[in-house]
Structures are given as C-alpha cells and as structure tokens.
Amino acid sequence: MHFYQDPQFGNRMLTLMAAFVLVLQIAMVGQRWLITNIRIFAAQSFLLAGIANTIAYFNHAPHLYIAAFLTLALKAVLLPFLLERMVKKIDIGQEIAPLINVPLSLLISGGLTTVGYVVAQSFHRPAEAASPASLGHNTLAVAISLFLIGFYMMISRRKAFMQVLALLCLENGLFLAAISLTYGMPLIVELGVFFDLLVAVMVLGILVYRIQETFDSMDVSRLSRLRG
C-alpha cells in the first residue's frame, strides 16, 4: 500500500493541518491589524479546505470535495478579497483599544482551548482502529476551540469589522466539527449554509460601512448614542 493511501498518513496530515488552524486562530486574537487578520482568516480557510479534501479522498465522499471547493473559493479567496476592499474603503487599519488587552486575551484563548480539549475527550475512542471512517475525529477538539475563541472575539472586540471576522471564525469551527464527526452535512444543507454566510457577510459589511459613515468609527459601543 502506498503511504498516501494509508489512513494513518491521512490522520497525521489532518492533525498537522488542524494544529495550524488552531495556531492561526490564536494568532488572530493577538493581532490588531485588520488586513493581517483577514489574511490569517484566508489561510485558516485554506487549511480547512485541505482537511475536507483529505477526508473526502480517504472516504470517497464526493460531496466533501464540493464543500472543500466552496470553502476555498468563498472563504479563502472571495470573502477575504471583499473584506480587504472594505477595509481600504473605510480607511481604518487597526483596532486601537480592544475591551480586553492582548496578553490577557491570549491567556483566555489558551484556557478556551483547554476547555475544547476537555469537552472533546468525551467523544474520544482510544480503541478505535485507524481507518478511513475514523479520520478527522481527533480534530473535534480544535473545532470546539475555534467555536469558543470565535465567540470570545465577538464579545471582546469593539470594532464591528472584527466582530464580522469573529463570526466567520466561529462558522469555521462549526464546519470543522461537522466534517470531523459526520463527514459533512447533506450537500443541499452545505450549499444553503455557504449562501447564507455570503449574504450575511455582505449585509454586515454594509452595516459596518454605515456605522463608520455615521459615527466616523467602527466602535459598536457608540451605538448607545442612538438611545432616547
């Protein structure tokens, strides 16, 4: 058997890519430059497409090839391109004052990663033999960590733009969980999710632009001025 057809080789590749995905997520937490964060998200989505493609290859799952292609085309290419254009248009390069400083945010992200691995332990099957059907199960902890860190970013960042990115990272965690446990949702559901995600980002992009135009800032805390 060639090494590239060995499920153990595929499992190592998935573990390596999932590790890089998690490192990129934590790097995003510590990064204030918006363009850099967009490119980190693009790299993370590229790796997720690679994970989906690897699982599809070893399990002969054609619908996962489509999910991998959509992830690559939409989340690694199209959305980063649109978001970078938006950043250049509103002319704000970085987040100056997040609600929680970077060192503490990194510490919290480490704690959330630990929580993700503890939760994933309940799904661990040590007696499970290495086979195509078991590929990706070890990435569940990373998926839970991505979800938790994405949610934390949504509530800890002032800039509406960073909250959009956090939502996308949270969705990446859900996508990784879906392909790691069930090898993806039915194709029609995946297409619907990708379409909804694209529309949501477009709507949020318009909202971000209007906030910037009205308040000369993307700080969502200024929305409190609209009261009364």
Q: Residue ranges of the domains in the chain?
A: 3-226
For residue 129, the model assigns a pLDDT of: 47
Q: CA-to-CA distance for 9 and 121, rounded, in angstroms?
A: 22
pLDDT confidence of residue 184:
56
pLDDT in tens, 177-214: 888 776 655 555 566 566 666 666 666 666 666 555 55
Q: Among 74-78, 79-83, 100-104, 130-134, name the one with the lowest average pLDDT.
A: 130-134
Q: What is the mean pLDDT of the chain?
A: 77
Query: Per-residue DSSP letters for 32-59?
Result: -BHHHHHHHHHHHHHHHHHHHHHHHHHH
- d(C-alpha 15, C-alpha 22), whole Å: 11
Q: What is the pLDDT of residue 100?
A: 79
Evaluate if residue 163 carries a pLDDT over 70: yes
Mean local confidence (pLDDT), 39-60: 89
Q: What is the pLDDT of residue 211?
A: 57
CA distance 168 to 225: 27
* Across 125-133, average pLDDT: 52
Confidence of residue 93 (pLDDT cuts 50, 70, 90): low
Report how far residue 77's alpha carbon sits from residue 54's, in angstroms, rounded to the nearest whole number. 20
What does the pLDDT read at residue 122?
75
pTM over 0.85: no
| % of the chain exceeding 90 in pLDDT | 18
CB 63 within 8 A of CB 187: yes
Give residue 228's pLDDT band: very low, low, confident or very high (50, 70, 90). Answer: very low
What is the pLDDT, as a whole number, of residue 24? 94
- Give the per-residue pLDDT at 176: 87
